[in-house]
Amino acid sequence: MLKNKTAIVTGSTSGIGLGIARSLGAAGANLMLNGFGDAAQIEALRAGLAKEFGVKVGFSGADISKPEQIRAMVEQATKELGSVDILVNNAGIQHTAPVDEFPEDRWDAVISINLSSNFHAIKAVLPQMKARNWGRIVNIASVHGLVASKEKAAYVAAKHGVIGLTKTVALEMARTGITCNAICPGWVLTPLVQKQIDARAEREGIPVDQAKSELLAEKQPSGEFATPEQMGALCVFLCSDAAAQIRGAALPVDGAWLAQ
C-alpha cells in the first residue's frame, strides 16, 4: 500500500517507534530510522528490516533536541531514499516530580524532545510534501495530551502541545493532500514504561509484576497494555487513502482510560 513512499520515524530503534517502523515497512514504505543505541545493534536492526520487508532502510543518529540535526535528518532521508512522504514524530522522554521540585533542565529537555522537535520536523518536511501535494504526518502524543496525571508536568504540557500543533497543521493543510493526526497511547509496555514500573516496585518494595498490575489498575480499565504493533497498524491506516479525511484527530488507544 505504501510502496515507493518513504517514512521518517523518530525514536524508532525500540518501543513504539520500532513497532511503527516495522508496520510501515511491511506496508512497503522505505524507512529512515532514528534513535540512540549501540551502533552494531542498530546496524543489525537496519539490515534486518531491509531484508525482511524488501525496502530501503537508512539510519540517522540525529539528536532531535537540536533543530539543525532534525533538518539534516530530513535532508539525508531525501537524498538517500528519494523523498519524505510520511513523518512519524515518536521520540520522547519522561521525568516525574512534583511541580515545585521539578528540575528546570528536565523541563526544558522534555519540552524540547517531546514537543519542539515535532515542530522542527514538520517545518522541515512540509515544503516537499506541499510540492507533491501528498503527505502524512503522525504525531505520537499520549493520553496525557488529553488528561493529566500528577508529577508529570512537563510530559503532560508537552503532549497537550503536540495535540494543539497537530490541529493547527491539519487546518493549515486542510485543502491539500497532506494530513496531520495524533495517536494517543495509554500504557504501552515499552522501555520507558518499564523504567516507571521498576521504579515503582523499588520505591514501594513490591514485586515488579505487582507494580505492573497496580499501574494498569489505576488508569487502564482493560487491565492490559496496548502494544507497539497496534500503534503501527493504526499509523499505517492513517497513511492510507481510507484516512484521507481524518485530519487533526487525536486518537486514543488506551484500554478505556478516557472512558472513565
CB 204 within 8 A of CB 211: yes
Say how far apart CA 113 and CA 152 lie, in whole Å.
15
Say how far apart CA 191 and CA 197 lie, in whole Å.
10
Establish whether 229 is a catalytic residue: no
Say how far apart CA 1 and CA 175 lie, in whole Å.
23
Rg of the chain taking only CA atoms, in angstroms: 18
CB 159 within 8 A of CB 98: no
CB 114 within 8 A of CB 141: no
Q: Exactly one of 59, 155, 187, 257 is catalytic; which is it?
A: 155
Say how far apart CA 92 and CA 11 lie, in whole Å.
7
User: 32 - beta bridge partners?
Assistant: 8, 58
Specify the DSSP class assigned to residue 117: H
Say how far apart CA 129 and CA 121 lie, in whole Å.
12
Say how far apart CA 248 and CA 23 lie, in whole Å.
22
**Would you name the residues annotated as active-site residues?**
155
